[in-house]
Structure 1
Amino acid sequence: METLNMTWVNLLRKQFIEILDYYDENPQRFDYKELKKAYDALLSVKSVEEFKQWRKLLKDYGLSFTDMARYSHDDNMLAVLDDYAEGANDKVLDVFIRWKLSFNPAKWTEVEKWNSELVDILLKATKREEDVHIVVFPCGKGRVKRWAAIGQDADRLFEVFGWQTGHVDATTGPVSWMFINAYGLEVLRQSGYSIQVRDFGEFDILSMAFEEDSVASMQQFIDYLRMMDQLAGEQVRFLKKIRPVIYPHPGYNELTQAYIEFNKDFVVAKFDNGKKVTLADGKNWNLNGYAKPFAVQLGAELGEA
């Protein structure tokens, strides 16, 4: 079953807007006719299938992500969208395309402004002098079951558990942010730390920190499994989620197969080329080299952070 990762959707949205803004301010880039044709084709996309065909068109024109060595990001921002779309499932692409079809620049600016103001409100609501508790709060609408921490609380979770922090924009600039899934919340409740769950009502926050949110989701799930006395059933369900994972390689990332082994002390990824990478030693997470893209891919497979 395909999962919907809204942070991934937001990443695609952000790049689409940057494409519109950039080429509106730099029309001279369209002196390269294939770039103009590819840009116009993107604007005309109305379905997931058409978007996939558009990506093939980029390749035919020599403008895809694999051709980035020939063109800088400034010259070809379409390739960046192509890169961000690599690996996205149809559910993610469908939500992005439906948003694109109804996109209104003025309304989007209003959404971003409201999002920043809401972040300001959350910062004020969680600000305090004492540092005894870690404050988290529900964040999501409808069926989305997740929580979040902001500012000092997100930083504290990183310090205590090693979970990756992302960021969201306040009116004064970026602030630390972390989505917490149901597994992460259970880890917090069983951790021995003082956790306060404050309900500020039903709302959602616009996050575009796709990699950070995905990594945190994966870390929380694995820490939950490590916490459990009986792992067998959870491990089987988790291993069924694993797909070929991605690690850096020239051009498009190359796919390789991997699986994980873990206990309360260690988390180890074993790749099909024989390489072993320690993802976690206790609560110290390694997110370098092979480990980072592996963690991002597994986190994305889990869906909402």
Structure 2
Amino acid sequence: MNKEQFNCDTNHLTLNTTMETLNMTWVNLLRKQFIEILDYYDENPQRFDYKELKKAYDALLSVKSVEEFKQWRRLLKDYGLSFTDMPRRSHDDNMLAVLDDYAEGANDKILDVFIRWKLSINPAKWTEVERWNSDLVDILLKATKREEDVHIVIFPCGKPNAKRWAAIGQDADRLFEVFGWQTGHVNATSGPVSWMFINGYGLDVLRQSGYSIQIRDFGEFDILSTAFEEDSVASLQQFIDYLRMMDQLSAEQIEFLRKIRPVIYPHPGYWELTHGNLVFDKDNVVAEFDNGKKVTLAQGKNWRMHELFRPMFLEMGAELGEA
């Protein structure tokens, strides 16, 4: 296991950890981009307007393992086609760089699931899965639709041992209004609708909130979500609200913190955020840095989605949906 650095006391949190866990929203994001790459270039081969792009595309199709995928990413960099070269080339010119961007920070477990899927994928089958997913979203919208607005309705989503719930449509929007948790989206047949995954910590917050929460069990099913950023932000918001509610760090919380694997994105302020202290109470969440700078992340239920706050939630919250 890789070295971990962990330090905490009551109402203070500092972490910089590594451990491999599986985030299916991240896997789905990679899958969706791969299908879009196939569609984009197969429909119009003349889009390969320079030979390095065609070579990189062919190399991607031949990838059969996680190590080969990593080699492919290094090849992109050698060709000047990686996501770090995106300012020089637009998304339309280089769809491969978008996949490279989405893969940045993904651990081997995530990449392995993606690669095994890639080796067996039938693009027509993927379209069928998306259509089936939209039909399921329609069913969930109908099942939760109601005139009265007394309850916030949530439901189990995923395998029974996943300990994950979700809210859709008006209920996801209500959670955003009440708690400030970031909403994502899933696609119904009529278009995107609001969606939110809720982890075990979020469920505890809901149960202690004083609001009327109704859990409806629609049986075992899962929803295809590619809203990786939004899901990650909401997961960490729920976790921090849980800490604020408890007003202390329990042994269970400390053990869970050791499992968080930061996702490294090349954004301004990354070092400061990963080396700062998260100070919280029931009213505020503040990031404190070694240089004395303090950044308010939340005041009450109002979360600040500024340029430093959002990347921090992405890097820390990617795995909390599995909690």
**TM, length-normalised to structure 2:** 0.88
Q: How far is 1:271 from its partner?
A: 3.9
How do 1:181-220 residues align onto structure 2 when only pairs under 5 Å count? 181-220=199-238
Show the counterpart of 1:43. Answer: 61
Q: How far is 1:266 from its partner?
A: 1.2
Q: Contact 1:179/1:213 (CA < 8 Å) preserved in 2?
A: yes
- RMSD between aligned alpha carbons? 1.9
Share of identical aligned residues, percent?
A: 84
Q: Report the 3-state secondary structure (helix = DSSP H, G, I; strand = E; otherwise coil) of the residue aligned with 1:75.
A: coil
Show the counterpart of 1:227. Answer: 245
Q: How far is 1:267 from its partner?
A: 1.1
Deviation track 1:131-168 (CA, whole Å, cap 9, x = no partner) reads 00000000002532200000000000000000000000
Show the counterpart of 1:146. Answer: 164
Q: Contact 1:149/1:178 (CA < 8 Å) preserved in 2?
A: yes
Q: How far is 1:249 from its partner?
A: 3.7
1:82 aligns with 2:100: yes
Q: How far is 1:245 from its partner?
A: 6.6
Q: Which runs of 5+ in 2 are unaligned?
A: 1-18
Question: Which one-letter code corresponds to 2:173 in the other structure?
Answer: D
1:20 aligns with 2:19: no
Q: How far is 1:247 from its partner?
A: 6.4
How do 1:158-173 residues align onto structure 2 when only pairs under 5 Å count? 158-173=176-191
Question: Which one-letter code corresponds to 2:224 in the other structure?
Answer: L
Which segment drifts farther, 45-54 or 266-275? 266-275
1:94 aligns with 2:112: yes
Deviation track 1:36-58 (CA, whole Å, cap 9, x = no partner) reads 11001001111111110000000
Show the counterpart of 1:129. Answer: 147
The whole-number CA distance in structure 1 between the counterparts of 2:144 and 2:289 is: 42
Change (3 A) 1:304 1:239: closer
Q: Contact 1:226/1:263 (CA < 8 Å) preserved in 2?
A: yes
Q: Report the 3-state secondary structure (helix = DSSP H, G, I; strand = E; otherwise coil) of the residue aligned with 1:31.
A: coil
Q: How far is 1:235 from its partner?
A: 5.4
Q: Report the 3-state secondary structure (helix = DSSP H, G, I; strand = E; otherwise coil) of the residue aligned with 1:69.
A: helix
How many residue pairs get aligned? The number is 303
Q: Contact 1:46/1:97 (CA < 8 Å) preserved in 2?
A: yes
Show the counterpart of 2:284. Answer: 266
Q: 1:59 aligns with which of 66, 77, 89?
A: 77
The whole-number CA distance in structure 1 between the counterparts of 2:144 and 2:319 is: 31
**TM, length-normalised to structure 1:** 0.93
Q: How far is 1:239 from its partner?
A: 4.9
Question: Which one-letter code corresponds to 1:36 in the other structure?
Answer: K
Show the counterpart of 1:31. Answer: 49
Q: How far is 1:276 from its partner?
A: 2.4
Q: 2:174 aligns with which of 156, 175, 199?
A: 156
How do 1:243-254 residues align onto structure 2 when only pairs under 5 Å count? 249=267
The whole-number CA distance in structure 1 between the counterparts of 2:72 and 2:82 is: 10
Show the counterpart of 1:6. Answer: 24
Q: Contact 1:217/1:302 (CA < 8 Å) preserved in 2?
A: yes
The whole-number CA distance in structure 2 between the counterparts of 1:87 and 1:276 is: 27
Q: How far is 1:231 from its partner?
A: 2.5
Q: How far is 1:248 from its partner?
A: 5.7
Change (3 A) 1:239 1:276: farther
Show the counterpart of 1:73. Answer: 91
The whole-number CA distance in structure 2 between the counterparts of 1:146 and 1:156 is: 18
1:281 aligns with 2:299: yes
Q: Contact 1:246/1:294 (CA < 8 Å) preserved in 2?
A: no
